[in-house]
Amino acid sequence: MIINFSHQKGGTGKSTTAYHIAEAFERLGYTVTIYDLDIQDTCIEYNNLREIPKTNIKNITEDEELIRVIEDAKDDEIYIIDSGGFDSSLTRLAIMGADINITPIADKVSEILAISNKYSKILEEIANATGEATTTYVLLNRIHIFAKNFEHLEEIIKPHKQMKILNTIIRERAIYDKALQEGLKVQEATDLKGHEDASNELGKLAEELLTIHNEEK
C-alpha cells in the first residue's frame, strides 16, 4: 500500500506524521519504507538524529525514480511518501500513484480554506488530466487535546466530493518535539509524558488506513 502525505503548503505536519506512522505500521508487522520528496529532506534529517539511523528512509528527486517505486510496489508492504509543501510534477505523481492520499491540517480557518480553495483545484486538475477521480483524506493534525467541535471544518470540506475527513484525530502533544530531538518515534520514547496517548492515536490511524485500503480494493 502506498500512502502519500501531501499539501500545497509547508508546515502542516506532513513529515512528522509520515515519520511516526511508519513506526505504527512496523509494529503491526509490516515492512515499511519512507520516501522523502521534500527539498528540506525532513524525514531524512529526523533519521540522522538517531544514534543508529534506520536504513528504510530514502530520498527521491526525479520523476522517473518515483515512477519506478510506484510500479514496483508490493501489495504486502507499506510505502510512505512525504511530498514537499509545494506543487510540482513530482508531488502530482505521488498523488496519482498513491493508494491513499492524506492531507494533514490544523483546526484553523486559514488551513481549511487553503485546501478548500487551492489544494482542491490540484485534485481537480489531476482528475481532468487522468480521467479518474482523485480523493484525499483530510487528517485533523496538531489538534488541541480538548477540542471537540469540528462542524465548521466539515461544512467547508463537505462540498468537495474528492475530500473525506478521517475519523482519527492526532492531537498536539509536546512529546513529538521532545522525541524528535533524538530522532526517536513517540512509540520509542516510553519515558516521556504522552507516550501512550500519542502511540494509541497513531495506531488507530494506521488501522483506519488499512481498513480504507481493504474496502477500496
| Between residues 216 and 208, the one the model is more confident about | 208
Q: Which runs of E-coded beta strand occur in the chain?
A: 2-5, 32-36, 57-59, 78-82, 100-105, 136-143, 163-171
- The predicted pLDDT at position 156 comes to 87
State the Cα–Cα distance between residues 198 and 19, nearest whole angstrom. 13
**Among the listed ranges 146-160, 171-185, 203-217, which one has the minimum average pLDDT value?**
146-160
State the Cα–Cα distance between residues 173 and 87, nearest whole angstrom. 29
State the Cα–Cα distance between residues 92 and 153, nearest whole angstrom. 25
State the Cα–Cα distance between residues 195 and 173, nearest whole angstrom. 9
CB burial of residue 208 (10 Å; 0-12, 13-18, 19+): middle
Residue range 186-205, pLDDT digits in tens? 999 999 999 999 999 999 99
Residue range 119-170, pLDDT digits in tens? 899 999 999 999 988 899 999 999 999 999 898 888 888 888 899 999 999 9
Q: Is the dihedral of CA 1, 21, 126, 93 positive or negative?
A: negative
List Cα–Cα distances, 172 to 15, 16, 74, 98, 118, in angstroms.
15, 12, 33, 27, 25
- The predicted pLDDT at position 44 comes to 96
pLDDT for residue 217 is more than 80: no
How much is the pTM? 0.95
Cell of 36: 522523502
Residue range 5-54, pLDDT digits in tens? 998 767 778 999 999 999 999 999 999 999 999 888 999 999 999 999 99
- The predicted pLDDT at position 93 comes to 95
- The predicted pLDDT at position 153 comes to 87
- Are 123 and 91 in contact, with CB atoms under 8 Å apart? no
How much is the average pLDDT of 99-114? 88
Cross-strand partners of 139: 104
- The predicted pLDDT at position 152 comes to 84
State the Cα–Cα distance between residues 42 and 78, nearest whole angstrom. 19
Cell of 199: 502511540
- The predicted pLDDT at position 114 comes to 82
- The predicted pLDDT at position 174 comes to 97
- The predicted pLDDT at position 11 comes to 73
pLDDT for residue 85 is more than 80: no
- The predicted pLDDT at position 100 comes to 97
Banded pLDDT at 56 (limits 50, 70, 90): very high
